[in-house]
Structures are given as structure tokens and as C-alpha cells.
Structure 1
Amino acid sequence: MKKEQFTKKIHNFGDGNVSYIEWNDESELPGFQFSHATGFNSLTYRKLLEPLSNEFHIRAIDARGHGFTETDAIPKKMYDWVVYRDDLIRSVENFVKEKGEPIILGGHSMGGATIMQVAASRPELVSGLVLIEPVLIPKFNLNLIKLGRKFPAFKFLSLIKEATSRADSTLKRRREFPNKEMIKKSYKGRGAFTTWVDGFLDDYIDGGTKTEGDCHILTCHPEWEAATFSSWKHNAMESIKKISCPITLLQGEIGSTTQEPGIKLLKLRDPNGTFKIINNSSHFLPMEYPEIVQKEIIKIKNRI
């Protein structure tokens, strides 16, 4: 696969600048738009997307509160991922208008859940879905998250503590660093970054930090990231019954966030779809096995 250089761009939909990266902006190749996971940014996935630039006209958007997008992101008002869905619909509408045809959407984690809601709400915009570890949480678990968010005193209960642990640990994350080298040293080989192949962490840092005074800071504020994790009103499973396009679902073998009955429901929507668990992979499989994900993205294009 050849590699084209991406271009950094800004688009204002009326409530602030939305940042994105793009490959092949003047080509007649089919459109493919990618949505990142909570706390990450579009540039994080450069090594996944760039090799696909001979197959697609590609865009990857920084979600609200992430990367270099400058729309309002108020943690106390974040209870529902519908804001991510609505933001994404506007950018997809714009892309589809330029292409003159529906486009394929890909997304990781929160991004995967969000593109499902776009496909359910606006099916005429979407020709196919590549779902990589989409967050599909049973209603019972969402209710536990709700209790933990609204009544922190209940977190002594083990089920609620477990349901809210990711948000709680995010709130403790350091945001300011003296330089990028220190950020990399703090993250490399640790936590979520343990299994990433070379290059992804550097792109995550480049796409998700900025200089402020004498410091380098994370552009996704830990409070916004935690509020996203602890949102309970979203339910991507409810959107599945309205999805009508081809589906590819890629799951991690270890610690998957894609839970039943979501998988069974997706298979009912597309009996001929691709549903794979990637051996030895985790929730971060795009950063662990990018070549496998690339092949599946090309396959769905050829199936449409």
C-alpha cells in the first residue's frame, strides 16, 4: 500500500472550529470517515489510515473536546453521547455532499458506537460500517454508571465501583508536562499504551497536546474524558435495529467493550457481514494489529 501525506484542516459548522485530517481531498476515490475513541484524537490513527490512502478519500475528525477541535466541551453537561452523534452527522453530511454519494464510516470504541447512531439516524448518508471494539453496554451496566455519577456515595458498592472505575481513574490523570518527551516517557509501555506498535503513541501525543505557557498539556481535559466515560444516557444497542447497511465488526479477544446482546443483534441486521475476534488483541486492536483492520476496511468497500 502506498502512503499519501495527510493535510490538517479546520471546518466551522457554526459553533466553533472542528479539526480534522484528510487524505486525497481532490480524488474521486470513495469516501471513508473515521471516528476515534474517547480521550484520543484523529492523528492517533495515522498509521492505520495512511496506508489506505490509495483506496479511499479519507477524513478523520477530532471529536468535541478532543484533539484540536474548539467547540464547547462542558463536563457537567455531558451525560449523553448524542452530542457526538449530532456533531458527526454534520461532518458526514458535508462529506457526502462533496462526494455525491454515501460514504463508509469507521470507528473505534466510542467512535464505533457513535457511527452506529449516525447510520441509524441518517441511513442515506452511510454505505457501510466498520465497527472496531464499539462500546455496547447492557442497560443494567448503564444504570450502574448513572448511580455512580449521580450518587458518588454509592461507589462503595462493588458493582458500581467497577462500572465507574474508568472515569474515576481518568480524573486522576496528569494533564500538564514540561515537554513531549516527558509525556512519552510517562505513557510508553504503560496502561492503555502497553501493547501499541511503534508510532501510534507519538501520533497520539502530536495530535492531542498543545503548548500553554511553559507546559505541554493534553487537549482532551481529563474532566471531559471522565464525563464521557460516565455518561449513561447513550445506548448504541438501541440504534442497531435501525441499521440497514453492510457491517464489519472487529473485536478484541481480551477486555472487549462489545457486549451481548449487541453482537447477536448486529448479526441479525447483516447476516452476510464480517464478525471477527482478533486473536491476542485487546480493546486497542487498531494500535496492535493495524494491518488486519486495514484489510477488513478494504474488504467492506469491495462488498458494497
Structure 2
Amino acid sequence: MAQATSVERAGGWVRETIDIGDPAGGHLAALAFGPRERPLDALVLHANGFNALTYRTLLEPLAADLRLLAYDHRGHGRTTLPADPEGRRDWTDIAADLVAVLDRTGGPPVTLVGHSMGGTSALLAADLRPARVRNLVLLDPVILPPEPRPGGHSALAEGALRRRATFASRGAALASYRGRGAFRTWPDAVLADYVADGFRDGPEGVTLACTGAWEASNYRAQGHDARGALRRLSRPALILRAGQGSTCHLTEGPSAAVTVETVPGTTHFLPFEAPERVRAAIREAAGGPRS
């Protein structure tokens, strides 16, 4: 399924590429953690505007026992698949990429771990490929109220369009972000990893890999049916929702298979604020006996 593209390793991870057969060309850029001889235990999906490397410090401690694959969604990080924001109505394109990865993954069914948009995309993909999914760990997934307010994500979209796109260097971007705005609760190592793969080199310095237009389109494209996918879910799922400002508008699951837990003292960035709780959830979901 995937081929190593470098020997860049730290803590047991290596960069890989995944060809999902997109007719427009390009590939998904991925980070593989853990023993290469072990069947894949879990796929990890990042939030809108982020990249796989942002979750390195979360995942590295699991690499001694689990085989994990985290990839950059189209329009993010080092992935080179086309990302046209025009006319998008939902996240079916993001979910379809995950389905393509699942279809190319050998071995037993895998655990899907997703944060925010990544969690919702995992839920949509599990609805389409239940036989390839063992269970799910969803980290503050975007699950809107039954009757969401019109334009509920417009402020986030406008903010994405106004975000500064170019800096003289990654160091300058890091200095600008540290301790400010949405990044104020992020550990330095997480922020440095976000910046490392969140920018691409250009003639004027470095530019955001995820453009403001693409990030904004993800906020606005809410036509998918996450609640319907959750109701139809035939696999166990644990939802860890933020204690403050959660994007998951659920307090309990629609069935006994879905557990919803609010993690006190966390925001939407709970994977970085409560990493031990998240790691424990991944270990429990992905580490047990598999059929």
C-alpha cells in the first residue's frame, strides 16, 4: 500500500507515501509509527488545517507496541492530491480518501483515530467500509446540533481567509504563533511539529500548506450526515469531547456501542492537552486481540 520515501526516523517513525489512485495524480503523505513487521493497528486522521506530524508526540510513545499510520489530508501538509475549494458541500472527498486507504490496507480491520474533521471523516468512512474498521476513537469530532444555526461556521471560515499565509521562515512563524490565540495551550514540541510540515518553502520564505481558501471550505462544507453515520455505526466507538467549546454536540451516544466522555479542563485541542488520556484510549482500542 505505502512506500517509504526517506529514512527520516525518530522514535520509531518513517515518512511514507500512499498512492490512492486519484485520477488527477498526487499522493497522500504519511508517517508510519511502530514495528514494520506488525499488521497495521490504527489509522490516525488530523484536524482541519493541521497535519500528521502535529500528532508525533502523541503517537511516538505508542510505537513500541502498535503499528500506526497517520497521513496528511488532501490540501494539507506534504500531501500532493489536488484540493479545489470551489463548490464543495461536504466532507465526502476527505472520507473517500480514507476509504481508498482502507481498501488498500491488508491485514485485519483497523482502529480509526480522528481529531475534529479527522474524527468525522473516520465516522463517514466507517459507515461506508464497516468490514475494514475494528472500532473508533473520535477526539472532539465535528458533530453539529440536530438543527445547526445557518452560517454557524462562517466566523471560522472568515478567520481562515484572513490568516497570515507567508512568513520569512518557519522560525518566524513559530515565534508568531507561540502562546497566542488558538495555540496558547499547545506544548512547544507540538507547535514546532505543526509548523515543520504546515508550511512549504517558497520564493518569499514559507507559505501555509493548507491555504486559507481550503481551510475555509472545510468549515463551510457541512452537508454530510455525521449523525446518520453515527446512528448506523456497527462498530464500537469512544468519543472524547472537549470540556470547553466542544465541536461535538452530543452528551451520550445513540446506542450502547457509542460511549461519549467529556474530558475536563480541555478545549478542542484535547489531543495536546490530555495526551495520556488519548493514548490510553488508543491503546485500549487498538491493542487488544484482533480477529
* Fold-level similarity (TM above 0.5): yes
Paired position in structure 2 for 1:178: 168
Paired position in structure 1 for 2:21: 14
8 Å CA contact 1:30, 1:55 repeated in 2: no
> How far apart are residue 12 of structure 1 and its match?
2.0
Q: Percent identity among equivalent residues?
A: 33
C-alpha distance after superposition, 1:206-259 (max 9, x if no partner): 111111113111100010000110112122111012211111111110000000
Q: Using the TM superposition, name which of 273-282 and 173-182 deviates more.
A: 273-282
Alignment of 1:1-304 (within 5 A): 4-15=11-22, 16-24=26-34, 26-28=36-38, 30-95=40-105, 97=106, 100-141=107-148, 144-145=150-151, 163-260=153-250, 263-264=251-252, 266-270=253-257, 274-302=259-287
C-alpha distance after superposition, 1:259-293 (max 9, x if no partner): 03xx43x35151xx543211110010001111110
Paired position in structure 2 for 1:154: none
In 2, Cα distance between equivalents of 1:163 and 1:42: 23
Q: Give TM-score, length-normalised by structure 1.
A: 0.86
RMSD: 1.7
In 2, Cα distance between equivalents of 1:77 and 1:10: 28
> How far apart are residue 301 of structure 1 and its match?
3.0
In 2, Cα distance between equivalents of 1:284 and 1:128: 22
* SS of corresponding position for 2:283: helix
8 Å CA contact 1:23, 1:57 repeated in 2: yes
> How far apart are residue 303 of structure 1 and its match?
5.8
Q: Give TM-score, length-normalised by structure 2.
A: 0.90
Count of paired positions: 277
In 1, Cα distance between equivalents of 2:222 and 2:33: 35
Which AA in structure 1 matches 2:102? V
Unpaired segments ≥5 residues, structure 2: 1-9
In 2, Cα distance between equivalents of 1:204 and 1:283: 16
8 Å CA contact 1:208, 1:220 repeated in 2: yes
Paired position in structure 2 for 1:157: none
> How far apart are residue 190 of structure 1 and its match?
1.2
In 2, Cα distance between equivalents of 1:302 and 1:12: 27
Higher-helix-fraction structure:
1
